[in-house]
Amino acid sequence: MLSWNLIMYPSIHKSVRAASIISLAVLFSLVSSKAFALPEDIHKSPMWQYNIERYLGTDADVVHTDQVSLKVPDFAEDSAQVPLTIALDRFEGDIRSIVSWVDLNPVPHLFSYQPHQQAPLTLALNFRVQQATTVRAAIQDENDVWHIASAHVDAAGGGCTAPSVTASNPHWSDQLGNSQGRYFSRPASNRLKLSIMHPMDSGMVENVPIFHINEIQIHAVNNDKTMDEESLLGEMSLSESASENPLFVFDFAGDDSNQYALRLRDTQGNVFKRILGDT
């Protein structure tokens, strides 16, 4: 794309037409974004630049942020279940999207979150670590700047390739999709909490195919229970780094919403729906 624009460059000098102005604008944005230097990684991860280019693009405008709190334990007691909390309530921009990854995991990508009606104030889930690693959350603002929060978690490791607890339970398929969820109305926000039985197989354990929840939709349904584009608060895609029997927490700003619906779908096409809140 970039090289194509560069080749087009001489024609812009010849005629200043509307199309060329657009080309010029595209050109400048590409050239100028390329000019952004990647800030140094405070954690000195060997995967810093590689994963940014992989998940945010080679032209991403990246800054470190202290407006986002990314919490992980200093040491992962259980490498297969490491709690991650991302607090976004102090973020000052509009949130276009959120991408989170675990630098040194076999599949580093953990989730991508796309807000629709409203961005969450808090987002929490558990993830796996294969070895001690840096964890990232990148928040894209309205100017396409990625604000990166980072933390380091020490670990004994092996969380991505250890057989799941579920797999040793011969009756797991009976419990698949069983969930426990609650809605908490709090002074400044509404909290949604959902845990769901799912083996979340990473595909990295011998003879166990990949099988995990990979799509989540959050809807504000109130009382009509219709789940559509109108009601969609946000969508999340999950990757292999998410933990077995996941527990999700989402906080949204308190407003009229008193009922939420979560729709989860796994890589085999199973769909799980759960209504949370006043009924």
Partner 1 sequence: MKQLTRISTTFALSALALSIAATSHAVTNEEILRDQQTPEDILSYGMGLNGQRFSPMDSLNKANVNQLTPAWAFSFGGEKQRGQESQPLIKDGVMYVTGSYSRIWAVDARTGEEIWQYDARLPEGIMPCCDVVNRGAAIYGDKVFFGTLDAKMVALDRETGKPVWIKKVADYQEGYAISAAPMVVDGKVITGTAGGEFGVVGKIVAYDAETGDKAWERPTIEGHMGYIYEDGEAVENGITGGEANLTWPGDMWKNGGGAPWLGGTYDEATNSILMGTGNPAPWNSHLRPGDNLFAASRLALNPDDGTIKWHFQTTPNEGWDFDGVNELISFEYEEDGETVHAAATADRNGFFYVLNRENGDFIRGFPFVDKITWASGLNDDGSPIFTEGGRPGNPFGDDAEDGKGETVFAQPSFLGGKNWQPMAYSQNTGLFYVPSNEWSMDIWNEDVTYKKGAAFLGAGFTIKPVNDDYVGVLRAMDPHTGEEVWRHENPAPLWGGVLTTAGGLVFTGTPEGYLKAFDDETGEELWRFNTGSGVVGNPVTWEMDGEQYVSVASGWGGAVPLWGGEVGQIVKDFNQGGMVWTFKLPSSAGNADVASR
* Interface contacts to partner 1, rule CB under 8 A: 54-56, 88-97, 99, 109, 111-112, 114-119, 121, 170-174, 199, 201, 206-211, 229, 235-237, 239, 253, 267-270
Q: Compare residues 32 and 173 and give the one whose CB is closer to partner 1.
A: 173
| CA–CA distances in Å: residue 14 to residues 17, 25, 123, 132, 208 | 9, 16, 52, 56, 61
Least Å from the CB of residue 240 to partner 1: 9
What separation, in Å, do the N-terminal and C-terminal C-alpha atoms of the chain show? 51
C-beta of 172 vs 181, nearer to partner 1:
172
Least distance to partner 1, CB of residue 49, Å: 15
Task: Provide DSSP, 99-138.
Answer: EEEETTSSS-EEEEEEESS---SEEEEEE--SSSEEEEEE
Q: Which of 115/246 has CB closer to partner 1? A: 115
Closest to partner 1 by CB, 179 or 237: 237
CB of 209 to partner 1, least distance (A): 3
Q: How far is the CB of 138 from partner 1 (least distance, A)?
A: 11
CB 3 to partner 1: min, Å = 22
List the beta bridge partners of residue 138.
99, 148
The C-alpha atoms of residue 121 and residue 84 are separated, in whole angstroms, by 14
CA–CA distance, 194 with 69 (Å, rounded to integer) = 22
Cα–Cα distance measured from residue 227 to residue 274, given in angstroms and rounded to the nearest whole number: 11
Q: Tokens at residue 253, please?
A: 């700003």
72 vs 121, beta carbon nearer partner 1? 121
CB of 172 to partner 1, least distance (A): 7
Distance CA 138, CA 125 (A): 16
Comparison of 14 and 186: residue with beta carbon closer to partner 1:
186
